[in-house]
Amino acid sequence: MWNTLFGESTSLFDEFNWLSREMDRLFDPMGIPALRNAGGGFPAVNVATEEDKVHVLVFAPGIDPGALDVSIVGNVLTIKGRRDPLEVPEGAQAWVRERSAGRFVRTLTLPDDVDPQRVEAQSRDGMVWIQVMRDETARPRRIQVH
C-alpha cells in the first residue's frame, strides 16, 4: 500500500523507525522514557465519578503495592513509585523496548468536592483501586416545596 501511495518512499519510513529506535536506545540509560511511548504516562489510570464518590483505577502490573506512595492534598491525588527494568539476556541486544522503567509520578486533579479525609485504596492483580468520597455538603440535596 505504501509503495502505491508514495512510490519508493517506504524506505524513508524505515529510516525514521530506525532513528526512533536509536534515540530510544540513546536516552534509555538516562531514564528518559521512549520517545515513541510519550503521551499518557505511566501508570495508566481511569477515573470515574458517582454522585457520592470518585473512583481512580491505577494499572500498575509488576509493581509491589506496598512500594507505591499514594497521597492526597485537597483534590490533588499523587501516585509515586518505581518500576524496575527487565533485564535483557546476556549477549542479547534489545531491539524494541516498549516497557518503561524507573521512577514515576502521576498527579491527578479530582473534582473540587472530594473529601481528602475519606479515601480508601485496595490492590489486586496489578491494579490499585482508590475510592475518594465526595463531601456530603457539596452533594445535591432535594428540597421539599410546600
Return the CATH number at 51: 2.60.40.790
Give the residue from 43, 21, 24 showing the smallest Cα distance to 34.
24
Q: What is the pLDDT of residues 9-59, one digit of tens each?
A: 456 666 777 777 777 777 766 655 555 444 456 888 999 999 899 999 999
Q: Are 119 and 56 contained in the same domain?
A: yes
Q: Are 33 and 59 contained in the same domain?
A: no
More confident residue, 88 or 49: 49
Instruction: Please tell me the total count of domains within the chain.
Output: 2
Q: Are 80 and 108 contained in the same domain?
A: yes
Which three three-digit cell numbers place residue 130?
A: 482508590
Q: Are 58 and 35 contained in the same domain?
A: no
| Terminal-to-terminal C-alpha distance of the chain | 71
Q: Are 75 and 106 contained in the same domain?
A: yes
* C-beta separation of 65 from 130 below 8 A: no
Residue 90 in this model has a pLDDT that exceeds 60: yes
Q: Are 141 and 70 contained in the same domain?
A: yes
Structural domain including 2 reads 1-39
Query: Dihedral through CA 7, CA 11, CA 15, CA 20, nearest 10?
Result: 80
- Distance CA(49)–CA(9), nearest Å, equals 48
Q: Are 111 and 58 contained in the same domain?
A: yes
Q: Are 18 and 51 contained in the same domain?
A: no
Q: Are 27 and 55 contained in the same domain?
A: no
**Radius of gyration of the chain from its Cα atoms, rounded to whole angstroms:** 22
pTM: predicted TM-score of the whole model, two decimal places? 0.64
* C-beta separation of 64 from 51 below 8 A: no
Which three three-digit cell numbers place residue 91?
A: 549477549
Q: Are 111 and 125 contained in the same domain?
A: yes
Report the amino acid identity of residue 123: S
Give the residue from 83, 60, 75, 81 showing the smallest Cα distance to 114.
75
**For the chain, percent of residues with pLDDT exceeding 70:** 81
Residue 105 in this model has a pLDDT that exceeds 80: yes
Q: 3-state class of 40 per DSSP?
A: coil
Q: Are 34 and 49 contained in the same domain?
A: no
Q: Are 58 and 18 contained in the same domain?
A: no
